[in-house]
Chain A
Amino acid sequence: MKNKVLLIIPAYNEEANILNTYNNIMKYNKNNKEKLDVIVINDCSTDRTSEICHNNNIPVIDLIHNLGIGGAVQTGYKYAYKNGYDIAVQFDGDGQHNVNYVKNIIEPIKSKEADFVIGSRFVSDIDTFKTSFARRIGIRIISFFLKITTGYKIYDVTSGFRACSKEIIKDFSISYPPEYPEPVTNAELLRKKFVIKEVPVEMQERTAGVSSIGSWKNIYYMVNVCLSLLVIRIRRYKRCP
C-alpha cells in the first residue's frame, strides 16, 4: 500500500515564492509519478499570499488570525490527522527547501527505520548552505543543550525540513510548541522515545522575501530555547495512546 504523504507549507507573506514552490512540487510529482499532496497554511498574511493560492487552486487554509510558526504548522498537522495521512513533511514556502530531497527524508519512515526524519544541513559534504558564523555557533549551542537533556546528538536542531510518521502526526495535532518548535519538538520526541534520524539535504538561500528570524532577536531566542530544553529534561513524558 502506498503511503499518503502531505507537505505542510506554512506561509507568512510569501507572495513572491509560494507559487514557485507549489509549481516545483507539482513538476516533481509529474516527473517522478509521485503523489505528494500539499496544504499551505496561510498565517494571516497581509500580502497576496492567500489570493495567489486561491487563484491557482493551491490547497490552502487561511488562518483567521496570525498564530506564528508553531500554531500555523500545527494546523497543518491537524489537517493531516483529520485526513488520514501516513507521513507529513514540513516544507518551507520560501524556496529554501528542495522538493527532490523529500523522498530521502520520507524513506526512513516508509521503511520503519525512524519515526521522525530531519533534513540536515550539517551531516554530509553537500553543505552548501550559506549561513552566518553566529548562526552556526547558535545551532551548536542548542545542539549541545539537546545532548544534555536527551542524551542524543542532533546536528541540525533548527532545521524546518522534517518528516514524521502517523503516530507523531497525531501527537503534534494534540500538542505542538507555539514557539521555537523545531528544537523543542526534537527534544520532546526523543524524551518520548521516538526514533529520530538525520539525513543530508541541501538548502537554498531564500529566493525572495525576508526571513522571520531577525538578528536582534537571536540572543533572546537562544536563552529561551536553552531554557525550554532544560524544562523538557525535568518534565515527564509519555506517548499519547
Chain B
Amino acid sequence: MPLNLIIALITFSVVLFIITTIILKKGRMPEKYSLLWYFISLVIFMVAVFPNTFAFITEKAGFQTMSNMIIGIVLVLLTFLTMALTIIVSGQKKKTTLLIQEISLLKSEIKKK
C-alpha cells in the first residue's frame, strides 16, 4: 500500500475517533450510536496498520486495488446507514406528530373546562 494512503487512512481514523468522542462528551449522541463510529474508525486504522492482510483479501475478492475495495465497502456501509437513518427519522416524525396532536387536543380540553 502506498505510504500516502496509509497516512490518509490513519489520519482519517484518528479524526473520526476524536469527532465521535467530542460529540459523545457534549452529550449530542447516545453511546449506543457511537459504537458504530468507533468500530468504523478501528477498521480503518487496522487497514492502515496491517495492509498485507487486506492486500490478501483484496486479491481474493477480485478488486484491482485496495483503495477500490475500501471505497466499495464504505459506499455499501454508508448506503445502509443512510437507509437506517431514514427509517429512524420517519419513526421520529410519526411520534412527533402524535405528540403534537395529543397535546393540542388536551390543551383545548383543558381550556374548555
Which residues of A does B touch, CB under 8 Å? 60-65, 67, 71, 74-75, 78-79, 82, 178
Let me know if B108 and A62 touch, CB within 8 A: yes
B107 at the interface (CB under 8 A from A): yes
Complex contacts, A178 vs chain B, CB 8 Å: 93, 97
Which DSSP category, helix, strand, loop or mixed, fits chain B's interface? helix
List 30 interface pairs A-B (beta carbons < 8 Å), by A numbering. Answer: A60-B108, A61-B104, A61-B107, A61-B108, A62-B104, A62-B107, A62-B108, A63-B101, A63-B104, A64-B100, A64-B107, A65-B96, A65-B100, A67-B97, A67-B100, A67-B101, A71-B97, A71-B100, A71-B101, A74-B97, A74-B101, A75-B101, A75-B104, A75-B105, A78-B101, A78-B105, A79-B105, A82-B105, A178-B93, A178-B97
How many chain B residues touch A (Cβ–Cβ < 8 Å)?
A: 10
B85 at the interface (CB under 8 A from A): no
Complex contacts, B104 vs chain A, CB 8 Å: 61-64, 75
In chain B, positions 67-103 with a C-beta closer than 8 Å to chain A are: 93, 96-97, 100-101, 103
Which residues of B does A touch, CB under 8 Å? 93, 96-97, 100-101, 103-105, 107-108
Tally the A-B contacts, defined by beta carbons under 8 Å.
Answer: 34
Q: Which 7 A-B pairs have the closest CB atoms?
A: A61-B108, A75-B101, A63-B104, A65-B100, A71-B97, A61-B104, A64-B104
Q: Complex formed: what's the CA distance from A75 to B99 in Å?
A: 11
Q: Complex formed: what's the CA distance from A82 to B40 in Å?
A: 49
Identity of the chain B residue whose Cβ is nearest the Cβ of A77 in the assembled complex: B101
Complex contacts, B100 vs chain A, CB 8 Å: 63-65, 67, 71
Q: A74-B101, A75-B105, A178-B93 are in contact. List 16 more A-B contacts (CB 8 A).
A: A61-B104, A61-B107, A62-B104, A63-B101, A64-B100, A64-B107, A65-B96, A65-B100, A67-B101, A71-B97, A71-B100, A71-B101, A75-B101, A78-B101, A82-B105, A178-B97
